[in-house]
Chain A
Amino acid sequence: MSLRDNGRHKIFKIQDFIFEKTLLLFVLLFIFILVGLFLVLFKESITTFKEIGVLKFIFGTDWDPDEELFGALPHIYGTVVTTVIAILLATPLGFGIAIFLSELCPKRLKVVIGTLVEILAAIPSIIYGMWGLYVLVPLMSKYVEPTLHKIFENIPILNELFNGQMFGTDYFTAGVVLTFMITPFIASVTRDALEIVPPVLKESAYGLGATQAEVIVKVMFPFAKLAILGSVILALGRALGETMAVTFVVGNFPNLTVHLFDPGTTITSTIANEFGEADSELEYSALIALAFILLVVDFFVLWLAKGVFLKKAKKYNL
C-alpha cells in the first residue's frame, strides 16, 4: 500500500514540476516579447534621438518630412487630448449604464442589454472608424459642433475650447468615437463589480434608512472601487493606443491648438498614415521613436494607475 502511494506521490510530483515549469515558460515568453519590443523600438529610434536630440524631438512642434523636420509634440498632444475627452465622457456614461443594469433594470431586459453592451465592446475599430466618417462626422459638423459653440460662446476658456473650423473631422469627434468604443469596457466591468457586492451590505444600509442613491454611492461604489478603477484604466489604455477609428475622423494634421473643433493628429494615426511611405531613414526612425514614446507613456499611465491610485485605494478601503 505505502509503496504504491509513494509511487503515485512521485508521479504527482513530476506532474506538478512539469506543470509549473510550463506555466513559467509561458510567462517568460511574454516578458521576453515585451523586453524585446522595448529594445527594438529603442534601437530603431536611436538615429532620431542622435540626429535631432531627445528633447528637441519630444518638444518640437514642427513635423514636415519633406524638410526633415520631426517634432513629436503635436502628436503627443493629440493623443492626450482625444484620450482625455473620451475618458471624461465615457466614465459617467459607463457608470450610468452599469448602475442601471445592476440595480434598476428589470431582470428580463438585463441579459439582453448586457449582451448588447458587450457586443459593442467587441466591434472591430475600423467599423467604428467608418461609421464615424460616414455618419458621425456630418452630424457633428452640421448640428453638434455649431450648437456647442453657441452654448459656450460667452463663457471664457470654454468658448476657446468649443471653437474651430467645425468640419467634423477634429479632436472632438475623435474623442466622441473613442467614447463609444471604451464605454462598454467601463460599463461591463463596473456592472460585474457592482454585482458582487454582498447583499448583506446593501440590506444593512437599506435597514438603516439609506436611499437607493445613497446605497449605490456610499456602499456599493466604495466596495467595488478597485475593480471600477481598473475598468477605467483598461479603457484609458485602449483609448491611448486606438489607431484606425481615430485616423478616420481626427483630420490628420499636426496641430497644437486649444480649439477642439480643429483637425489634429495622434501618435498612432501619424504612424498609420506615414509609415508605409516613409522615404528617408530619419523619417522611418522618427516614426518608430513616436511609437517608443507611446509605449513609455502607456507604461507611465499604467504605473500611475496601478502603482499609485490602486495602492491608495487598497490602503483606505479593502
Chain B
Amino acid sequence: MANISTLNSTAAGFDAVSPQVAGPSGRKPRKVLSRRNIILYGLLIVAALYYLLPLYVMIVTSMKGMPEIRMGNIFSPPMEITFEPWAKAWASACTGLNCDGLSRGFWNSVRILVPSVLVSIAVASVSGYALANWRFKGSELFFSILIIGAFIPYQVMIYPIVIILRELGIYGTLTGLVIVHTIFGMPILTLLFRNYFTSLPEELFKAARIDGAGFWQIYFRIMLPMALPIFVVAMILQVTGIWNDFLFGVVFTRPDSYPMTVQLNNIVNSVQGVKEYNVNMAATLLTGAVPLIVYFVSGRLFVRGIAAGAVKG
C-alpha cells in the first residue's frame, strides 16, 4: 500500500511539470485493415489460389463422368458427383496384364516404405549419435566422405548397384530396393542426426558416462527420448522421399512388385484405349495422399523444448 501511495505522489509530481494530460506521444499502432495489410493479404490470397487451382481442377475432374469432361469446362464443378473413377483407379484400372488398379502398387509401396524408413532411420540415428558423441580417430574424415555421397547424382550409381544386387541374388526383389533406399537415405539422415546430437548439451553425455552408462544405454535412455523432434523430421523426409521415388522403383523391381508411383505412371501413360482423365486424376490424388497425410498428421508432432530443463532454462 505504501508503494502505491508513493507512486501516486510521484505521478502527481510529474503532472505539474510535464503535459501528461495530452497522453503518450507518437502514433498509436492501429489494428484495422491498413493499405499495407490489404496488399499483404491480397498477395497471399492470390498466391494461394494460384497453387490451389490445379488441385481444385484435379478434384472436380476426378468426380465427373467422361461425357461431362468432354464438354471442356474444366473449372466448373461436377453436375453429377460420381466416385466411380476413384473406385476404378483403386481397384480395376489396367496396367499391362494386371487389372487390379493401384491397390497392388499401394501395398507394394507400403512393403517398400515401412522397412526402408525404419532401417534407414535406425542406422542413421545411431551413426549420427556415434559421430557426434563418440569421436574416433578419423571420424571427421569419415563424416566428410559420407556427406560427399549426398552430392553425387543417383543416376551415376544405378548401373553399379544393379550389378551388385544381381551378384547378391536380390535384384528385382523388394529386399533389394529396401537396401538401396536405406543406403541412399544415409548421408542426409546421418547429417541430420549428427547435427542434432551435437546441438544437445555435451555435459548430458558426460554426466551419463560418469553415471556408468555405456554406448547403447546412453543412446536408448538419454539420447533417444530427447531426439523425438528430429525423428519426426527424418520420418517425414524419408516417407515423402521413398513414397515419391520413381527411378529406383522402376529400375530395381519387376512389374508385379512395382511401387505405386510406377504404376500410376503406367496407368496415366497407357496408350491403348480412351484417355480416362477422371480415373487419372483420382489415381494421382490417391498416390499423393500418403505423403500429404503424413505431413499433416506428424507436423503437429514437431515438439519443441524437449531438451528444456536439461540446461539453464
A and B from one complex: no
| Chain A interface residues toward B at CB < 8 A | none
